């Protein structure tokens, strides 16, 4: 039994690897609510022998290390991974991006591109030879959704959903068009340029909270997999414990 932790800026997700397969059990704690008590309460009925942590929040990483008695592996560029790294400063690559890149070539060859719709949207690029080359970081959908409401007096807060038309018939509809259709344009243009420079026919993955919604209008995306990061954490953990 192997505990997998995906600690991002917004949410911290927990899963179990049972004999090499992800179990159906999942748990989530808002990262702002993490404490030794909240973690122990969440995991009270779960038994596991080791922990693999994928974290982009240094304070949370430190908390995890004093919470568990089991051996814990913290994913970094020094971990054994299915990928190699061709990047000028590997220590600056986020652990989540290494996990995503690793998952993208499990059981297959590169090239590949992973788009992760999180607090920020990230693109991670893997070469035909299976090397991590770099990527792109852009504002996440929450940034577009919330910024106008926070910075203007009359524009409301909205929830992202598919617009009925490209011509908004209310303030909320107009904001939906900008946030959803406009965001697809941003993703599509970045993807086009990355594919042009990478060459070949990369397999394109999407994961993260808004992957389903935004990917509806981007037909180049091959696979939407909300477990992609966990699969990468699982693979890296198996190689390092």
In terms of residues, how long is the chain? 241
- CB-count burial class (<10 Å; 0-12, 13-18, 19+) for 230: buried
Domains in the chain (CATH in brackets) are: 1-74 (3.30.420.40), 77-227 (3.30.420.40)
How far is it, in rounded angstroms, from Cα 198 to Cα 71?
A: 38
Given 6, 33, 41, 96, which residue is catalytic? 96
Name the one residue in this structure whose structure tokens are 């920020």: 120
Q: Is 222 in contact with 239 (CB distance < 8 Å)?
A: no
Q: Report, as an integer, the average pLDDT of 153-169.
A: 87
**Residue 103: per-residue pLDDT:** 97
Answer for the pair 186, 138: CB distance below 8 angstroms, yes or no.
yes
pLDDT of residue 127 exceeding 90, the answer is yes
Instruction: For 32-103, list the strands marked E by DSSP.
Output: 50-55, 72-74, 84-85
Give how far Cα 64 sits from Cα of 42, 47, 94, 121, 238, Å: 13, 16, 17, 25, 19
Kindly give, in sequence order, each residue whose CB lies less than 8 Å from that of residue 238, ignoring residues fewer than 6 positions away: 2, 17, 20
pLDDT at 148: 76
> Minimal CA–CA distance to 222: which of 134, 119, 132, 108?
108
pLDDT given for residue 155 in this prediction = 80
Alpha carbon of 151 to those of 47, 77, 155, 177: distances in Å?
A: 47, 38, 9, 19
pLDDT tens-digit series, residues 180-209: 999 999 999 999 999 999 999 999 999 998
59 is catalytic: no
pTM for this predicted structure = 0.91
Average pLDDT (58-72) is 95
Compute φ and ψ for 86, nearest 5 degrees.
-120, 80
- 10: phi then psi, degrees, rounded to nearest 5: -100, -50
The secondary structure element, H or E, covering residue 134 is strand 131-139
* pLDDT bucket at 119, cuts 50 / 70 / 90: confident
Cis peptide before 111 (omega within 30 of 0): yes
φ, ψ at 219 (rounded to 5°)? -80, -10
């Amino acid at each position: 039994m192997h505990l997998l932790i995906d600690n991002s800026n917004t949410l911290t997700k927990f899963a179990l690897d049972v004999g090499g397969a992800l179990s159906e059990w999942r748990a989530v704690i808002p990262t702002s609510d993490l404490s030794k008590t909240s973690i122990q309460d969440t995991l009270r009925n779960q038994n596991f022998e080791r922990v693999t942590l994928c974290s982009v929040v240094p304070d949370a990483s430190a908390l995890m290390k004093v919470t568990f008695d089991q051996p814990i592996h913290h994913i970094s560029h020094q971990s054994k991974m299915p990928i190699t790294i061709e990047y000028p400063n590997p220590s600056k690559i986020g652990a989540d991006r290494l996990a995503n890149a690793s998952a993208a070539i499990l059981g297959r060859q590169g090239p590949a591109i992973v788009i992760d719709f999180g607090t920020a949207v990230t693109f991670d690029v893997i070469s035909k030879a299976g090397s991590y080359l770099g990527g792109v970081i852009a504002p996440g959908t929450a940034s577009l959704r919330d910024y106008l409401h926070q910075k203007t007096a009359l524009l409301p807060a909205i929830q992202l959903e598919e617009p009925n038309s490209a011509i908004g018939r209310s303030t909320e509809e107009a904001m939906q068009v900008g946030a959803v259709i406009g965001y697809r344009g941003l993703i599509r243009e970045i993807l086009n340029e990355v594919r042009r420079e990478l060459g070949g026919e990369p397999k394109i993955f999407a994961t993260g909270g808004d992957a389903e919604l935004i990917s509806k209008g981007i037909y180049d995306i091959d696979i939407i997999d909300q477990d992609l990061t966990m699969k990468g954490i699982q693979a890296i953990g198996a190689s390092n414990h």
